[in-house]
Chains A and B, each alone.
Chain A
Amino acid sequence: MPRYYGPQIRGGASGVKLSLDTTRASVPADTADIMVCFNWEKYAELEQELPLGADSVVFYDSASSKGSISLPEKSFQVRFSEIGEELTGTTLAKNIVALGLLERILALPEGLSKGAAVQDEASALLERNGLALSAGKHLLPEFPFAELKLSSPRDASAKAVLHGNSAVAQGAIRAGCRTFFGYPITPASEIMEEMQERLGQGNGVFIQAEDEIAAVGLALGASLTGAKSMTATTGPGLDLMTEMMGLASGAEIPVVIVDVQRCGPATGIPSKSEQSDLNHVIYGGHGDAPRVVIAAYSLEGCYRLVIESFSISEYYQAPVVLLSDQWLGQTTVATSSDFLTKDYSVAQRKRPGGEYQEPYRRYEITEDSISPMASAGDEGFMYQATGLAHNEKGRPSFDFATHQRMHEKRWQKLAPLRDRDELVKVFGREESRKGIVAFGSSAQFVLETVEYLGLQDEVKVCIPELIHPLPRRLTSFVDSLERLLVVEMSYSAQLHHYLRSQIDLPSDTESYARAGGLPFSRKELSGPITKLAR
């Protein structure tokens, strides 16, 4: 259930697209089967994102301000507001009346809303508006079509209802994160709010910082003492965190930064998705500061990959940026809860001790380039970290050979990540010579469109979850192709350019890239994908 909203503070245009699919959690259909509209003026603001099809069924409250919006054949004006007012004294109950009608049209089991009303506080509203609900149910006979029946649910297992931002917060808790620092920003705030809820009351450390610099600075401070620390933001906040990201890279301090991408540059469109932070997260900051970039493309991925981000960050002592986007972050999905309960391996920080002999060298060059890291407070392993170029002991050192060696250490320690094949998802037949590379929520639309076009046998799809350092499996996927299509929501085609800089792309390579805001649709992607398959 993606959310569509604009820059209003309260009220204003807002919509949700609820997709009921008992077989999977996937991207909603391009056009709505049923639309309920209470205000045409506000619909006009969201029309690009919520287009109607010729077969759409529309129920609307009032025809005023409909303007030039052309309605499909099956459009019905229903007195939602009037009925609501008659029965409850306020037009505010209009949505409950509409809900009653929808319950009947969708032939939902009797008592479903009643059951929900006892379960949570928000639904209790239904109970208080029982009259409006039942009036809505009785509206059905007025309309000239038979009941639409949903197929019966095939999967009766427990369902989790959450959005990507919530999955990130829950995953962080699962990974053992107990220190979180944030600053409110759309569309990432839900992560902070959920961490506040979970870490409050003495369960951990939560601070809403004075800005994003402080948020990531507090996280680095906590990490120095051995705590798994995280912050979450979007583009503008990430800009402010960039200097600290370089410090975390140079001083080798684990930290996880979640970037729920939105349209840029500058303030851009805060409530809409884009994939244009890729350059920033891979290259942002001065100097050569290696970091790890991971991108979720699914709800389950938001949960699994934040755990993975902690593992990588802690093990490799490096900043990890987990990319999400507004679509992933704010689309609520009801899905199997298996991913919330299954086991995940969690790698830990390498600490000094055991056979380790003094004197302790914080940045000792080891075989795997990972030096044991003491936590501030540990006896016997005092060290002084610094953002200055330093030697193995952590002492400021402007010796150029040492500087070169420390660069080698910080870059080489991340090299084994390139063999993490499981962080690259490949769909389709291996023998295919035509393929698509996409990441983040765009990848969902690519997969859907390939299936919608029935091209699973002709076109294979590669979705890297590990973006940087470049995974070998992505390289070999591209190497296996004669034709490549790179799909992304970035005006300047950042993913395409990143791939070009790292891999010899096939001479027959197309880039499908545009600015964000409007989500991709099957209709839109059918063009480039059909062309690829031709």
Chain B
Amino acid sequence: MKCDIENRSQWIAAYLTGELSQAEMSEFEQHYFQCEACFQELKIGRDAVNLIEREGPEVLAIPISGWEKVRQALSAVFSPRQWQTRPRWAFAFAALILLIVIGLPLGYLKYFSQTPSPESYAENFQPSSRLDNLIRQTYQSPTLFSQVEPANDSNFADEISFRWELPEEQKYAGAFELRILNNKEEEIYRFKAEQQRFHFDKKLAPGLYYWALLTENEMAYLGRFYVRRAER
């Protein structure tokens, strides 16, 4: 069949990025069903889209920056299994290290000049600079949640209530996973939270702790809190 289509590559681009109306889509499908030239070119475009979908910044040779990548990188830190099975995690993680090296001096000063470190003499209260840096990133990016509790740097003596709310337009069918880490970045608890809250009633030693909410694929929130002895 002789191809008489005009702007073939425009049709292909619009088809692959889902920008055609139903009628246009059907028209183009009707065409490539018989037109080998268009279909061959469409397959090349489809392969390119698949590569970008799978590898994103890596295949485009884009240095990773921004909160989305940081979130992915942190998911990799928390889930070595995912890291092994998904090569782009490794790349994101490498970029995270770079980000920390570059962003740490400024970020650390800015963050801690506003938040005096309590009981900095105690080892359990020493902050993790890596996790703090990631928290700092969250302040500069839109959050997934409309409300999150506890607020950063809240103090607790015993029980802790975690709560988070998604805006109405945000739909997530799965359960969140809540993880608690100590200030040495060691995971000490992990829970599946079916509802948008979790009541934690276990005993924690005094110190600084981090908590993260993860979806199946990435980290959605990172915060920190203190546990102190109850005043007598």
The yes or no verdict on A and B being binding partners is: no
